[in-house]
Amino acid sequence: MSGHPTYQPQSPFMKWMERRLPIGSLVYSSFVAYPTPRNLNYWWTFGGILSFMLLVQIVTGVVLAMHYTPNVNLAFNSVEGIMRDVNYGWLLRYIHATGASFFFAAVYIHIARGMYYGSYKEPREVLWILGVILFLLMVVTGFMGYVLPWGQMSYWAATVITNLFSALPVVGHGIVTWLWGGYAVGNPTLNRFYSLHYLLPFIIAGVVVLHVWALHMVGQNNPTGVEPKTEKDTVAFTPYATVKDAFFVGVFCIVFAYFIFYIPNYLMHSDNYIPANPSQTPTHIVPEWYYLPFYAILRAIPNKLLGVCALGTSIIILAFMPWLDTSPVRSANYRPLFRQFLLILFAVVIGLGYLGSQEPVGGYVIAARLLTAYYFAFFFIILPLLGLLEKPKPLPNSISESVLGKGASAGASGLPPSGGKK
Amino acid sequence: MRRNLSIMTAFLLGAALSGTATLTACAQEEPPNPPMQTWSFAGPFGLYDPQQLQRGFKIYREVCSNCHSLNLLSFRNLADPGGPEFTQAQAAAIAATFQVTDGPNDQGQMFKRPGKISDNFPPPFANEQAARAALGGGLPPDMSDLAKARSYDEGFPWFIIDAFTMYDAQGPDYIHAIINGYVTAPAGFSQPPGTYYNEYFPGHAIKMPPPLHAGQVQYTDGTPETLDQYGRDVAAFLMWASEPKLDERKRLGFQVMIFLIVFTGLLYFTKKKIWHDVERHPELNQPHAS
């Protein structure tokens, strides 16, 4: 990117530092002078919100780890001890547990934004794939964290999910025994889940660095999907993006605090306040809400192995979006058909989430199969075909032209302004 | 084209939803939802009523504690702020009425002694097997987390509305309903031996005999001694037992909300000021370095 003003260290210490470790100029070029498109909307603030949530989860998690005991006989009571006897322990745990939900809510919005505005397309493929890896790491970390309180749902979720690997031919049962560290979910399982739950967030933080690095290499996408061409198209990261992100982190925190302080158990399952009991299966085993769409896909397929494959594919497929989408136009605002099909996909995922929370009987199974079929059809059929069939709306020549209004757009492209509403 | 697609969306979701609708009818017969009670701790400013918790504790002590443990609570909790708020002396006196096992002593023997304020509530049975043997095979659940460990499915759209009304009393409502739910079984219901018909218990066959009847526990503050009132008082006590920091949470929550709303408001006006020129004069180059 052109137009980076160089960093001029002011203090003697920073001048001294600059010749040895140029951390000042790195921070300056990445988070101050870095040009961001001027037309970014609030959907773009969720990247910053996600960084904030990662920090919140690590800080609360490290303190919780000081009071938690990873042993099948002590884990449940140690969590209750945090809730009852540790100073502000109830607050730490409710922030951490609700925080997991809000982390996932933010990542789903972030992914949906990337899909809507075509942020996965050339040259942002690596940035996008790193994002899919981050999502996978979050899924694994969140699952292991849910097991730690060792309530009924913790235990049975661990049993059901690890058992999925038993569907693999030949090696399946060996893998499950290896994962458990025994012949059933037990103390070795809890110990390793705890160890990994502590490790993975730092791996996530490392991949976030790569994700941000890739982002700063290619620059941010924007609602028009047209790359910035001149300085008119961009504003400096600080103060423009910083203050906008900070404001929306504040809005996000208000909703987050509402859940923490007023309905902290709303997103939790009541069965998880019953200590784990291997000899009593709960009536309905359901995962946390943020896994429900994938759980619905898993159960929609009558064959266990194929169900597990569908579950894996439903996430991995995202990494292939840059090549499945054949259209050169990024933003859904200029792709009327893609926009419709994508909004249907979002509704389908929410529908799958609801179905995942219900018992898999009768009409629910048929509904889940219909929606699962649409989910995969979107990626394997609709996405490749649309690029060939769809006639996109005329794109603005530049970001500033789209900001300045349609009159300029019509004059420049020689086409009448499109009447499409946004 | 757009209209066609909208119709298609409607069709797809409609098909999915009608599938779910036919289903609800054929699912196994669920007990009715517990009637919602009025709770002092409901809503953003709702706190526990210490008088009610003391009455609920009296019921626990005289009735429930014969079978149900309260393992996670100590006698000192009875004097905690935001709880039944007994005085330290009262809590110590209550503790002394319980016999707790201590030891081993100098002779290597376990022994019984009166409870101290730092002790946890002693369980009524030595272990699970002892409880089952004494109670005809049933195991009374520990009551420490009972009010948060019981719930019922309200279904769509109520679970969404709950988030806005801050309804989080499924557990206490359920406990109140169970206590008041012992009615005559409908004709044709085959009652498994050793169970009692309860309207609100899943499957209707509960092993707990009707635990309370009107007038059983004496109130000294003039509160009516009805089953309905007993159910509400003991459910409120159990809610406190499972969520003892609720008062502290709501008080801190109000301060945090005020702070966040003011702070976010200030950030909004800061953002507006900084972006003013960009939005008012989009044709100008913006300064790229501060």
Q: Which CATH number is B187's domain given?
A: 1.10.760.10
pLDDT tier for residue B268 given thresholds of 50, 70 and 90: very high
Q: Is A40:A220 a contact under the CB 8 Å cutoff?
A: yes
| Domain assignment of residue B79, yes or no | no
Q: Is B142:A263 a contact under the CB 8 Å cutoff?
A: no
| Domain assignment of residue B16, yes or no | no
Q: State whether B290 and A238 contact (CB < 8 Å).
A: yes
Q: Cα A313 to the chain's mean position, in Å?
A: 17
The angle that helices A172-180 and A187-218 make with each other, rounded to 10 degrees, is: 100
Out of B22, B253, B288, name the one closest to residue A231 (CB).
Answer: B288
Measured CA to CA in angstroms, residue A162 lies from A63, A144, A177, B11 at distances of 28, 11, 9, 37
> Exposure pattern of A101-116 as b/e (b: 16+ CB <10 Å)?
bbbbbbbbbbbbbbbb
Q: State whether A262 and B275 contact (CB < 8 Å).
A: no
Q: Is A144:A164 a contact under the CB 8 Å cutoff?
A: no
Long-range CB contacts (within 8 A, 24+) of B13-19: B13/A347, B13/A351, B15/A367, B15/A370, B16/A351, B16/A355, B16/A367, B16/A370, B16/A371, B17/A367, B18/A363, B19/A362, B19/A363, B19/A364, B19/A366, B19/A367, B19/A370
Q: State whether A83 and B287 contact (CB < 8 Å).
A: no
Residues 24-63 of A with CB under 8 A from B: 32-33, 35, 38
Instruction: State how far the Cα of A79 lies from the Cα of A67, in Å rounded to an integer.
Output: 8
Out of A90, A251, A283, name the one closest to residue B245 (CB).
Answer: A90
Residue A411 pLDDT: 38
Query: Which amino acid is present at B186?
Result: P
The angle that helices B2-26 and A336-356 make with each other, rounded to 10 degrees, is: 10
The low-confidence residues of chain A, meaning pLDDT below 50, are: 1-4, 406-422
Residue A357 to chain B, least CA–CA distance (Å): 10
Residue A405 pLDDT: 67
B68-104 pLDDT, tens digit each: 999 999 999 999 999 999 999 999 999 999 999 999 9
Among residues A171, A264, A323, A209, which one has the least CA distance to residue B248? A264
Instruction: State how far the Cα of A137 lies from the Cα of A151, in Å rounded to an integer.
Output: 23
Among residues B145, B20, B174, B200, which one has the least CA distance to residue A357? B20
Q: State whether A244 and B275 contact (CB < 8 Å).
A: yes
Instruction: State how far the Cα of A220 lies from the Cα of A44, in Å rounded to an integer.
Output: 9
Q: What is the DSSP string of A1-51?
A: ----PPP---SHHHHHHHTT-THHHHHHHHHTS-EEETT--GGGGHHHHHH
pLDDT tier for residue B10 given thresholds of 50, 70 and 90: low
Instruction: State how far the Cα of A393 lies from the Cα of A329, in Å rounded to an integer.
Output: 9
Long-range CB contacts (within 8 A, 24+) of A299-302: A299/A356, A299/A360, A299/A365, A299/A368, A300/A365, A300/A368, A300/A369, A300/A371, A300/A372, A301/A372
Residue B283 pLDDT: 62
Backbone conformation region of residue A184, classed left if phi is above 0, alpha if psi is from -120 to 50, else beta: beta
Is B133 near chain A, with CB under 8 Å?
Answer: no
Residues ≥6 apart with Cβ < 8 Å to A241: A36, A40, A235
Q: What is the DSSP string of A348-401?
A: HHHHHHHHHTS-S-THHHHHHHHHHHHHHHIIIIIHHHHHHH--PPPPPSSHHH
- Cα B106–Cα B111–Cα B117 angle in degrees, nearest 5: 105
Q: Is A98:A256 a contact under the CB 8 Å cutoff?
A: yes
pLDDT tier for residue B288 given thresholds of 50, 70 and 90: low
Percentage helix, strand, coil for chain B under 3-state DSSP, each rounded to 5:
45, 5, 50
Q: State whether B23 and A270 contact (CB < 8 Å).
A: no
- Alpha-helix runs per DSSP H in B139-245: 146-149, 158-165, 170-179, 227-242
Is A360 near chain B, with CB under 8 Å?
Answer: no
| Domain assignment of residue B2, yes or no | no
Q: State whether A247 and B13 contact (CB < 8 Å).
A: no
| Chain A residue nearest residue B155, CA to CA | A358
Total tally of structural domains belonging to chain B: 1
Domain A28-406: give its CATH architecture: Up-down Bundle (1.20)
Instruction: State how far the Cα of A33 lies from the Cα of B286, in Å rounded to an integer.
Output: 12
Q: State whether A363 and B20 contact (CB < 8 Å).
A: yes
Out of A239, A257, A374, name the one closest to residue B12 (CB).
Answer: A374
| Chain A residue nearest residue B252, CA to CA | A261
Is A266 near chain B, with CB under 8 Å?
Answer: yes
B141-188 pLDDT, tens digit each: 999 999 999 999 888 899 999 999 999 999 999 999 999 999 999 999
pLDDT tier for residue B206 given thresholds of 50, 70 and 90: very high
Identify any residues that bridge with B102 across adjacent strands, giving them in sequence order.
Answer: B111
Residues 209-268 of B with CB under 8 A from A: 242, 244-245, 248-250, 252-254, 256-257, 260-261, 263-264, 267-268
| Domain assignment of residue B262, yes or no | no
Q: State whether B260 and A3 contact (CB < 8 Å).
A: no
pLDDT tier for residue B13 given thresholds of 50, 70 and 90: low
Q: Is A225:A63 a contact under the CB 8 Å cutoff?
A: no
| Domain assignment of residue B81, yes or no | no
Q: State whether A247 and B270 contact (CB < 8 Å).
A: yes
Q: What is the DSSP letter of A213?
A: H
Q: Which two tokens stand for residue B41?
A: 């701790």
Domain ranges, ordered by start, for chain A: 28-406
Q: State whether A400 and B264 contact (CB < 8 Å).
A: no
Residue A204 to chain B, least CA–CA distance (Å): 28
Q: How many CB pairs under 8 A join A and B?
A: 178
Q: What is the DSSP string of A247-312?
A: HHHHHHHHHHHHHHHH-TTTTS-GGGGSB--TT---SS----GGGHHHHHHHHHSSSHHHHHHHHH
Out of B9, B151, B256, name the one closest to residue A270 (CB).
Answer: B151
Residue B286 pLDDT: 54
DSSP, collapsed to helix, strand or coil, labels residue B277 as helix
| Domain assignment of residue B254, yes or no | no
DSSP, collapsed to helix, strand or coil, labels residue A53 as helix
Element (H, E) at A129: helix A125-147
Q: Which two tokens stand for residue A147?
A: 């097991």
CB atoms within 10 A of CB A266: 16
CB atoms within 10 A of CB A88: 13
DSSP, collapsed to helix, strand or coil, labels residue A75 as helix
| Domain assignment of residue B35, yes or no | yes
Residue numbers of the domain that contains B142 = 29-73+121-244
Residue B279 pLDDT: 78
Is A370 near chain B, with CB under 8 Å?
Answer: yes
Q: Give residue for tokens 């942002």.
A: A124
Instruction: State how far the Cα of B250 lies from the Cα of B257, in Å rounded to an integer.
Output: 10
Q: What is the DSSP string of A152-175?
A: HHHHHHHHHHHHGGGGSTTTHHHH
Q: Cα A381 to the chain's mean position, in Å?
A: 24
Is B274 near chain A, with CB under 8 Å?
Answer: yes
Instruction: State how far the Cα of A140 lies from the Cα of B136, in Å rounded to an integer.
Output: 44
| Domain assignment of residue B275, yes or no | no
